[in-house]
Chains A and B, each alone.
Chain A
Amino acid sequence: MIEYAELHALSAFSFGRGASSARELFARAKSLGYQALAITDECSMAGVVRALEASRESGVPLITGTELTLADGLKLVLLAENAAGYTNLCRLITQGRRQAEKGSYHLDRADFTPGMLGVLALWLPACDPHGGQPVDAARAQGQWVREIFGRRAWLAVELHRGADDEAHLEALRALAKELGLRCVAAGDVHMHERARRPVQDVLTAIRHHCTLEEAGAFLFPNGERHLRTRRALAAIYPRDLLAETLVIARRCTFDLGQLRYQYPHELVPPGETPTGWLRMLTWQGAAWRWPAGTPPAVATQIEHELSLIEELGYEPFFLTVHDLVRHARSRGILCQGRGSAANSAVCFALGVTEVDPARHALLFERFISRERREPPDIDIDFEHERREEVIQYVYQKYGRERAALAATVICYRAKSAVRDVGKVLGLPAAQIDVLSRALSWWEGDTPIDDRLREYGIDPEDRLIRRVITLACALLDMPRHLSQHVGGFVISEQPLHHLVPVENAAMPARTIIQWDKDDLETLGLLKVDCLALGMLTCVSKCLHLLQEVRGVTLTPATIPADDAATYAMIQRADTIGTFQIESRAQMAMLPRLKPACFYDLVIEVAIVRPGPIQGDMVHPYLRRRQGLEPVDYPSPELRAVFERTLGVPLFQEQVMQLAIVGAGFTPGEADQLRRSMAAWKRRGGLEYFRERIVEGMEARGYATAFALQVFDQIKGFGSYGFPESHAASFALITYVSCWLKCHEPAAFTCALLNSQPMGFYGVDQLLQDARRHGVEVRPVDVRCSDWECTLEPRADDADRQPAIRLGLQQIRGLSTTAGGRLVEARKAGAFRDVQDLCLRAGLDAKARSLLAEAGALRGLAGHRHRAHWAAAGVESSRPLLAAAPEEKVRLPVPGEAANLLADYASLGFTLGRHPLEILRARLKARRCLNSRALRALMHGTPVRHAGLVTSRQRPSTANGTTFLTLEDEHGMVNVIVWRSLYEQQRRVLLESRLLCVEGRVESADGVQHLVASRLHDLSALLGELDVRARDFH
């Protein structure tokens, strides 16, 4: 049978056009016996790495190319013949993308230089869409193509059973002859098989923002644009056109896998080698870390690491990371590295991380492995408000040509798929809303009929069925490229030699067309610059301490192993701290009772979906509390699991388990790790299941144990937390806890100035601070800055200073107005409201906001008087002092009115808690307050009422809802089982003040209220603006 190579095929990375993945295309090409398959996504190389993987998997050679439509309508498929051609394509795509808005491209004929070395061109003549006859303009186009590409140009004939293919073919042949071009057959493939037609139609309609009904002009009239059998092709195309495909395929010898890139050279001073320079910096750092001399064990470790780095040629990577960290330090920006390679003695010496190898030896087992050739993994967290400075530094140092962010491929999720599909199938907007709500968090793997019925949707309805079937088909298909949160790629040559660069949504940002998996596959290194709110908070807190308390501290000099801090942590008194402040974490702390740094590492990692779904939490707790013996199936595994009492908690342990227990090579173990991250998406864990069970049986483990291990691995899924990350996080956790324990005022102040972040809002943070005896002073134009500040206590300088709330807390007040106010005050105290408003140039809105927030109290009196005064400010100072205004009598606002105004204007009150005001009425309803509740025995039936501050229904909790109620004495955790949820859904979801009848459950110092009945008391609140923060 005739041979064929497909030279024009789009994968799903031609967004809104290609309906099949590269994997599907290659599998089909393989089964049809194609000689080669070109992936020619439209002005994009975003799918090419996946195509390379699929090509390697299937054995069908990949031809790299791209389809382009120029601004004047000229359409080309360009193929890379060799590396030079590939670079030319990347340059061209970059040019087209950078000249247009994100997501589109613009290319003119002027963007092509004659020659285009190494590029083969297939010209697709413009044809009348129905008759298939070339239009007149085509001739001129063809001549231009001939000029630019010379002997490397072909006329591509694409026949798809149109109105008259034969005539079309003849016309194209005549045109080619006239222009002196050769003809070649091509398929304009949009899907791997005909059955994808509905998906392709849906994508087309989505792309054109219309319903299928309206999309007639854009849809293909039939499903011929798939990979057709060679028999079908032979029936349509003349033999010579098919044979020509092979001529072209054979010429395209470029192999993406051979791509290499070089690190920037400027990190190493002239005359130095990267190896020598890194060694120098490392030992210099070691001398700074250990002034008394590097401990011998660490010195050995450093030598070992350096030789490994040298062997693998990773010096420039470490030098890059070091350079970023050094720059951040010099600007006073807090940062910390994490990741396997970050937890190395070299990185500690370089100042990238604070995890001391001398103190935490066991963390350093996984560094970089020689066998895996895995790129070193270092993420650097920076203060979130100052990360941009670091990013701009990178751009400045290497230039936009050589540094760009990695892309993130945004894929269809259930919600977005249902929305888009519903729209194009003409489902009414209201129904789309309901459907997408019903399907939120659905992953396409569980039956959904009951869920739909629960939302009042008939799953038998044909339209609904169709929407769901198609939405399922769209799940996980790429939708668009977005920017990675902070992964930079930096290279010696301009990046577009390597990969196309395009515009990101944010101005002044550019991204490359590959995501982090693509980079990994090709062995390119990236540096992750991430933003972390808590670092901002810690940094601000340390500055405050220096200014107000005269204490100079850095994360490294904060006393380690502080007993008071651990005692606080064990009490779960951790509101506002890093990582261990959530409801779930606070419920775990009194059970786990962290007493040393490694306990914190475990605490950070254990309250995660991975360990929870893998059912690892309870075994660990039982063993820790001595309720269950710690045993190990073998001495080898003991070494792996001893630090976590035999329970696998970390990703590293799963990998080691596979190596030690089931005989995986390190490379295979790494594959397992990646598959764990993606198995829900791609499947493919079954292969490992057999390997693990066989391997473990062969090593004498029981089959049941092996299966249990496998299930745990599966449960880990994509949520397994690497120990190396947990360790770095735990360090920040400890620092934040120490600050909260010893400097609560400064810590709270810094938290307020770093909002929004964390689990709690300003209201809760302030209440917590006040419960810890910190004085909070109201916003006042006479002394508030824009941010919150600390005011030393006049009576006793040793006591915690008071927090003076900043103008920032006033909702709606602009930064500029606040800034002018603070600036004006520097020239002298304000005499009265008139003086304030004139000098600070405050408009009516700002004046009213200040009055409403009570910030004018010191100048004008109570809120009503403040409003009267603020409204009476005249826009310019009168020439003659006007007669003093007549005094007016205005009523004093009541407590409830003040409370309402406080909540509306600030979101919190410094007056009495609303429930304290309502206490008598709650008492009449026999509701206990939270303090009384805490004293109750396990099992006591009780009624309690509180403001609902959070509702959570984690997907891991089997339909259980967790509520947090707040009253004047603190918070109470409520558990609502699924059955009650179903009975009282509305009360549960809509109450702001909720009364819970139930039973107290306490164990290990953790108390919950298990609800048996709920009552909505929101009416008591009147119009209090106390909105629950829902986390779904």
Chain B
Amino acid sequence: MLWAGIVLPHLALDGALRHQLPPAPLSADNPAASLSTQPTGGSVGPLELIAAWAYRYSSLVSLEDQDALVLEVEASLGLFGPWPRFRESLTRDLRALGFRHRIALAPTPLAACVLAGAGRNVAITRDSALASALSSVPLSAARLPVGSCESLAKMGVHTLRQLLALPRAGLRRRFGPALPHHLARLYGECPDPRQCYQPPDFFAARLEFNHELVHHTALLFPLRRMIEDLSTWLSRREEGVQRFELQLEHANRPATTLTIGLLAPARDAAQLFELCRVKLEQTMLCAPVQGLSLLARDLPPFNPAPGDLFARACGDGSSWEILRERLRARLGEDVLFQLQPHADARPERSLRAVPVLTREPASGAMPRRPTWLLAPPVPWRGTVKGILAGPERIESGWWDEGDIRRDYYVIETPQGQRAWVFRQAGSTADHWMLHGWFA
């Protein structure tokens, strides 16, 4: 077997800077299609992406450490070869993907990685040539077990040639079995069984229609079926879905993509379908639909609420969670909020809007405050029948340009209403400001 080693020295950086990947035709059963969708949630690292890409060229792809991978190419040479051309395709793709890389060819996977990492642009096809190709490689590039390189440097051993000259028994005694084994694998003296890359799991389904559909309602039936499939698939895997995409395929124009996102993972078919339905109803169909596909990649583990044997059925979607999701789906993700008490002496800042139910409401005593707080306060033009409480002095907020110094009073109006009014602290003038009404 012959192995191509690909070392990506700047993997993390390149992965972060990666611009748009080359387009690939969408088809649910082509793993490479995964590259055309944005990886979500950051769960797929750049090395996995590269592995998925390499899978196009070989069925034996194996990751090596955090920065390299090897693929068996002898079997694929017929298809993509000869090597110089094969190599060129690899390089072209990687360049397009935006990854800096080094490639070498060698009879053992480890040697391929080591040579690539050492910057040797070589293609070793015969076992006999391997030793001489490796001899001048510095140990720092030899991918030795952790720590051995530093220890060997202290003994004055810096290259593979020097290392090979040392007695293996002596090495085993000093570094344990890992180092001699590493050498044996490197030089092909022993087999190097590797765990092969498996493309990741995701849910994809696609339906092609016999005729073009022009109404939402016609889409609902196939959609419901797809969602049910998804739901079944998810429960089998103990997973939920947090975000998925629907694509409406058209004849002569790009597909319409609908992204459905949830606050928490779910897998209940009715709930998921309801969300899709709402989203679909909001969408103007720009053209007749020929096909429908669903792709779900963001599949976190799902811990279902324990089913209650005696629970009343609430399948009508009236529970709070469903209402919340429906409101968000209809109105937008950030229009829903809740008020929460905030510790600040200034009445204007004693309540805060926070995203809905992200935190438990704070408990703790609140001072007596009017139910209805005016924003901003307005001059008080009425008469005062009597002062019920006060002055309550509030001086606070010098640190954020919102400094106030006020004396607050609870007053009663001739109509029997109770109002919250203030004037400048210490002032005795009759300039009242109305700040709120008590219920």
Contact = CB atoms under 8 A, between A and B. Distances in A.
A223 B395 contact: yes
B386 to A, nearest CB: 13
A812 interface: no
Contacts of A162: 392
B165 A889 contact: yes
A468 to B, nearest CB: 14
A1021 interface: no
B393 A219 contact: no
Interface stretch (A64-72, A75-83, A249-257, A863-871): A863-871
B174 interface: yes
B365 A221 contact: no
Interface in A181-196: none
B368 interface: yes
A871 B155 contact: yes
A382 to B, nearest CB: 43
Q: Which of B156, B157, B391, B400 has the most CB of A within 10 A?
A: B156
Interface in A165-221: 166-167, 197-198, 201, 212-219, 221
A128 B389 contact: no
Given A198-B398, A201-B398, A223-B395, A890 B170 contact: no
Contact of B392 (A163, A213, A865, A891): A163
Interface string A824-855: 00000000000000000000000010011000
A868 B154 CA distance: 9
Contact of A130 (B166, B170, B366, B390): B366
B394 A222 contact: yes
A871 B151 contact: yes
A466 interface: yes
B395 A166 contact: no
Given A219-B345, A221-B396, A890-B156, A874 B173 contact: yes
Majority secondary structure, B binding face: mixed
Contacts of B154: 848, 851-852, 863-864, 867
A886 B344 contact: no
Q: Which of A197, A216, A462, A872 has the most CB of B within 10 A?
A: A216
A611 to B, nearest CB: 45
B367 to A, nearest CB: 4
A221 B405 CA distance: 10
Contacts of A902: none
A889 B166 CA distance: 8
B356 interface: no
Contacts of A224: 393
Interface residues of A, number: 48
A864 B170 CA distance: 15
B332 interface: no
B152 to A, nearest CB: 9
B400 A222 contact: no
B174 A893 contact: no
Contact of A867 (B155, B165, B166, B394): B155
B50 to A, nearest CB: 34
Contacts of A130: 365-368
Contacts of B396: 201, 219, 221-222
A131 interface: yes
A163 B367 contact: yes
B399 A201 contact: yes
A425 interface: yes
Contacts of A893: 156
Interface string B132-157: 00000000000000000001001111
B327 to A, nearest CB: 30
B399 A871 contact: no
A902 to B, nearest CB: 13
B392 A864 contact: no
Q: Which of B344, B394, B407 has the most CB of A within 10 A?
A: B344
Interface residues of B, number: 37
A450 interface: no
A864 B156 CA distance: 6
B428 to A, nearest CB: 11
B193 interface: no
Given A131-B367, A201-B398, A221 B345 contact: yes
A161 interface: yes
Given A198-B399, A864-B155, A874-B173, A888 B389 contact: no
B342 interface: yes
B196 interface: no
A163 B398 contact: no
A239 to B, nearest CB: 20
A213 B400 contact: yes
Interface string B333-373: 00000000011110000000000000000001111100000
A885 interface: yes
B343 A217 contact: yes
A1032 B245 CA distance: 61
A913 B157 CA distance: 26
Contacts of A201: 396, 398-399
Given A161-B407, A867-B155, A221 B394 contact: yes
B263 to A, nearest CB: 26
B170 A886 contact: yes
B304 to A, nearest CB: 37
B157 to A, nearest CB: 7
Nearest to A212: B399
B393 A221 contact: yes
A470 to B, nearest CB: 9
Contacts of B155: 864-865, 867-868, 871, 890
B395 A466 contact: no
Contact of A885 (B170, B343, B390): B170
A956 to B, nearest CB: 38
A129 interface: yes
B23 interface: no
B365 A131 contact: yes
A164 interface: yes
B167 interface: yes
A972 B251 CA distance: 84
Interface in A139-161: 160-161
A892 B157 CA distance: 11
Contacts of A223: 395
B368 A163 contact: yes
A219 B393 CA distance: 14
Contacts of B367: 130-131, 163
Nearest to A205: B399
A389 to B, nearest CB: 42
A872 B344 contact: no
B392 A872 contact: no
Given A201-B398, A221-B394, A891 B365 contact: no
Contacts of B392: 161-164
B425 to A, nearest CB: 8
B119 to A, nearest CB: 22
B207 interface: no
A197 B173 contact: no
B402 to A, nearest CB: 11
B182 to A, nearest CB: 17
B165 A222 contact: no
Interface string B166-193: 1101100111000000000000000000
A217 to B, nearest CB: 4
Given A863-B156, A885-B167, 12 more contacts: A130-B367, A130-B368, A161-B391, A201-B399, A215-B343, A221-B393, A222-B393, A224-B393, A848-B154, A868-B155, A885-B173, A889-B165
Interface of A: 128-131, 160-164, 166-167, 197-198, 201, 212-219, 221-224, 425, 462, 466, 848, 851-852, 863-865, 867-868, 871-872, 874, 885-886, 888-893
21 contacts: A129-B365, A130-B365, A130-B366, A130-B367, A131-B368, A197-B398, A198-B399, A212-B400, A214-B343, A217-B343, A218-B343, A221-B394, A221-B395, A221-B396, A222-B395, A222-B425, A425-B399, A868-B170, A871-B155, A872-B173, A886-B167
4 A-B pairs closest in CB distance = A216-B343, A130-B367, A161-B393, A864-B156
